Amino acid sequence: MPSTLQRDILGISVPEKPNTGKKFYLETFGCQMNAHDSEKVIGTLVHEGYAQVDTVEEADLVLYNTCSIRDKAEQKVFNRLNDYKKFQKQGKKFGVLGCVAQQEGEKIFERAPYVSLVAGSASYRNLPQMLVQLEAGNSRVTGLDDRQTSETFDTEFTARTNKHRGYITIIEGCDKFCAYCVVPFTRGKERSRTSESVLAEARRMAEAGFTDVQLLGQNVNSYKDPSGEMSFAELLAAVGKVPGIRRVRFTTSHPRDFTPEIVTAIETVPTLCDHVHLPVQSGSSRVLKLMSREYTREKYLECIAWMKASKRRISITTDIIVGFPGETEDDFQHTLSLLTEVQYDAVFAFKYSPRPNTPAITMEDSITEEEKSSRLTRVLDHQREIQRANYQHHLGEIAQVMVEGRNEARGQLLGRHSQNKTVNFTTNALIQPAIGSYVDVRITKALPNSLVGEMITV
């Protein structure tokens, strides 16, 4: 029988149940929350005696863990399912998990009759019972009815797919109801886990050899400790002080709940990475009000000022939506001016697209796709020049880099800066640092999206 450590952290190396001979294929779409959810699904299935395989052709059970944030997400899922329905004759079973499953519900069975399982993220702890129903021949198994439960954190088996970096979900769901966003409808209300359980998981991860931990939540800094022991900033600091942990990241933050105490924690606890992703969505206060974002441009810039005043240089990244209903050219110019004022290290920009159940779907979307595309291009072009200059600031610096892989074709190693920037670097042929190790790299070249350097050897 595996130890608790194996079960909770490393996945199942020796299943507690006999190997069934059944195989599963899992494809994941979307964000880091979905990636971590897939680790829970994999760990549970392996514990139930299933073996993971790399192709649909090999699998008995084919699963898609879905995301509904982007445009036409549900259609992309149905297209993918349609590609593989030919395998139904071979006895394969199909399941749709995650946000599209929660959003579309049993309608998935109507549109894709060869699907046998539809389950939202809050139901993964019930996968063993669902598998029993599937194996008994039930062709319509669902897990859709419990988005409010805090038990979503308590999936017993998690298969960590990276031996050195791991995720900890500290808060699920969202209470913000931004006009464009489907998350409150697919993930449910905000519910936080206790600081004690978060720290216990962080300690188990450190004992298992994980050195890089990322705290996750749809709005991670909206965390409210049910036990009342710690604020989000205090929890951040406490995780950063767990022996063995060398880096702590967190994503994604909401500007409404961002506080100076978070900056103080980053400034004073060296293991907290000097990077904050703070989505703004628009530089226009008028559009932010239409979006129901609950802050103004001025309030957002106050958060930026706290970070700019820090003794550590904090890398700031953001999300932008262009072409939201009612966005004028003047509003858009406010977004471009915000990029100039903040000087982001990276921007993830998207064209607005209507999502099911959201308030914005009732707004007149009069901006043409051509204009949305034009604004997106202008944002990306403007940001590219800002990043080109920003990355030049790293020239000559000695950065600690976590080794993540090798680029054999270029003879380089690949790693990540504490500011979450990619670093490609060379080293002495006689010294090949292990994946997951930390090395010092002198930065010799700056590209718009990455840094290049040489490992320092003693």
Cα(125)–Cα(134) distance, integer angstroms: 16
Does residue 153 carry a pLDDT above 60?
no
pLDDT above 90 as % of the chain: 61
Please check whether residues 404 and 389 belong to one and the same domain: no
Please check whether residues 236 and 352 belong to one and the same domain: no
**375 in a domain, yes or no?**
yes
In the chain, the amino acid numbered 424 is N
Q: Record the tokens describing residue 319, joined without a space.
A: 């999300």
Among 123, 149, 175, which residue terminates a domain?
149
Does residue 97 carry a pLDDT above 70?
yes
The mean pLDDT value for 415-429 works out to: 93
Please check whether residues 306 and 440 belong to one and the same domain: no
Strand, coil or helix: 163? coil
Please check whether residues 27 and 144 belong to one and the same domain: yes
Cα(114)–Cα(328) distance, integer angstroms: 45
Does residue 435 carry a pLDDT above 60?
yes
Task: Determine the pLDDT at residue 255.
Answer: 98
Strand, coil or helix: 385? helix
Please check whether residues 51 and 130 belong to one and the same domain: yes
Please check whether residues 139 and 174 belong to one and the same domain: no
Among 363, 393, 423, which residue terminates a domain?
393
Residue 7 pLDDT level (bands cut at 50, 70, 90): very low
Beta strands in 389-430 (DSSP E): 398-407, 412-416, 422-426
Cα(102)–Cα(77) distance, integer angstroms: 13
Distances (CA, A) of 214 to 167, 197, 286: 5, 15, 34
Please check whether residues 190 and 222 belong to one and the same domain: yes
Q: pLDDT tens for residues 285-294?
A: 999 999 999 9
Residue 70 pLDDT level (bands cut at 50, 70, 90): low
Q: Which domain holds residue 417?
A: 398-455
What's the total number of domains in the chain? 4
Please check whether residues 179 and 249 belong to one and the same domain: yes
Does residue 454 carry a pLDDT above 50?
yes
User: What is the DSSP pairing of strand 438-446 with strand 398-407?
Assistant: antiparallel
Count of helix runs (H) and strand runs (E) in the chain: 14, 19
The mean pLDDT value for 181-209 works out to: 90
Q: Record the tokens describing residue 422, joined without a space.
A: 């990619």
Does residue 116 carry a pLDDT above 70?
yes
- The secondary structure of 24-63 as a DSSP string is EEEEE-SSHHHHHHHHHHHHHHHHTT-EE-SSTTT-SEEE
The mean pLDDT value for 29-44 works out to: 82
More confident residue, 211 or 187: 211
Please check whether residues 25 and 80 belong to one and the same domain: yes
**155 in a domain, yes or no?**
no
In this structure, of 31-35, 106-110, 257-261, 364-368, the range with the lowest mean pLDDT score is 31-35
pTM of the model: 0.82
In the chain, the amino acid numbered 162 is N
Q: Record the tokens describing residue 439, joined without a space.
A: 């090395």
More confident residue, 335 or 183: 335
**54 in a domain, yes or no?**
yes
